[in-house]
Amino acid sequence: MSRKKNVPISVAFELTLGCNMRCMHCGSAAGNVRSNELTKKEWIELSRKLKDMGTQLVVFTGGEPLLRKDWFEIGQNVKDLGMDLSIISNGFIIDEKMISQFRKLDPYAVAISIDGANATTHDNIRQLNGSFNKCLEVLNSLTKNDLPTTVVTTIHKNNVNELPELRSMLLDRNIAWQIQLAVPIGRFPNELILSKDEFYSASMFISQSKNQYSKKRLPVMAAHSIGYNPKFIRNPMLLPLWKGCQAGISTIGIQSDGGILGCLSLPDDFVEDNIRNRDIKDIWNDSSMFGYNRKFTKDDLKGSCKDCKFGKSCKGGCLTVSYSTTGEKHCDPFCLHLIEKEMISA
């Protein structure tokens, strides 16, 4: 029987590592532009090849992707090729001209990062005064112009208690809300990561929010670092069933200098190759690439995941969380199934 073909359905473009903020949870420690970042011509050629490979969605991220002067032309090319486009921004430089450009691109989503329910918390995390108020202004402009809008909140000890207030702020505004876990990569200090009890409470909050409010009032989603086979709470994840990390299976990340990762949240240890060394198609189709997922077997599981009945399908949870918190692959300790087992046996 032939092996199922891997297709890079969703691809993240780190358009630049340059950023106007110095967020404490930034996994890529963004700020300064990488040396020799890809040109507009290279991004456009890359997009054409990805379309031929079956890519359906391109996500612009950074750094702050909108700092690139040619972001619109690159985005227009993505749309002209027939792929969906999402844009993730800190919101600070978005103005009416950009809003007009967003409308022309007809994006799948425009996501703005908000990490606190007030200016004190958000601005401290983002290390830029005035960023919270600017985000609120941008959200109003996006929704006023009928653009599909998402707020992304990255949770840790400094802001997790503000989730209820944030929910009230976003309710009934035609805004989707994605919540994700901060992990100790880049600038984020290990001491601010949630405890397992805090993580479980946050997961329960997400689940309860999904039960309490319709998708019309507030679509609440958890990124793939929150979930995994809970028994006592409704699964809070984006997808109803976790099928294992998709890095190198259906997703890929392109760094601004051409480096290839299965997922842009992974640290540089996981860079596979560079599109300036080899064609993206050759890298993707190379059987030696992304072996942590493509060649995964149950024997690769570590720690408490090793004997778990969900291990084969789960693959030990989010690879980024696993590696950043334990130094090992395939043993994510922030697993609802695992935490519930520990709670029962305590």
Orientation of helix 131-144 relative to helix 119-126, angle to 10°: 100
Tokens of 76: 């227009």
Output the six-digit token pair for 238.
Answer: 């984006």
Q: Which of 345, 304, 307, 337 is nearest to 232 (CA)?
A: 337
1 has pLDDT over 50: no
**What pLDDT, in 10s, does the model give residues 261-314?**
999 999 999 999 999 999 999 999 999 999 999 999 999 999 999 999 999 999
Angle, CA 39 vertex, CA 38 and CA 45 arms, to 5°: 90
- Going by C-alpha positions, the residue among 257, 262, 292, 300 that lies closest to residue 275 is 257
In this prediction, residues 339-343 reach a mean pLDDT of: 93
Residue 3 has pLDDT above 90, yes or no: no
pLDDT band at 29 (very low <50, low <70, confident <90, very high): very high
At 90-112, the pLDDT tens digits run: 999 999 999 999 999 999 999 99
Please give the model's pTM, rounded to 2 decimal places: 0.95
Mean pLDDT in residue range 147-155? 98
Average pLDDT, the chain: 95
User: Which pLDDT score, from 0 to 100, does residue 2 have?
Assistant: 40
Using 50, 70 and 90 to split pLDDT, how confident is the model at 4? low
How many distinct helices (H) and strands (E) make up the chain? 12, 10
Tell me the pLDDT tens digit for each residue of 40-86: 999 999 999 999 999 999 999 999 999 999 999 999 999 999 999 99
DSSP 35: T
3-class DSSP assignment, residue 265: coil
- Evaluate whether 9 touches 54 at the Cβ level (below 8 Å): yes
- pLDDT at position 329 over 50: yes
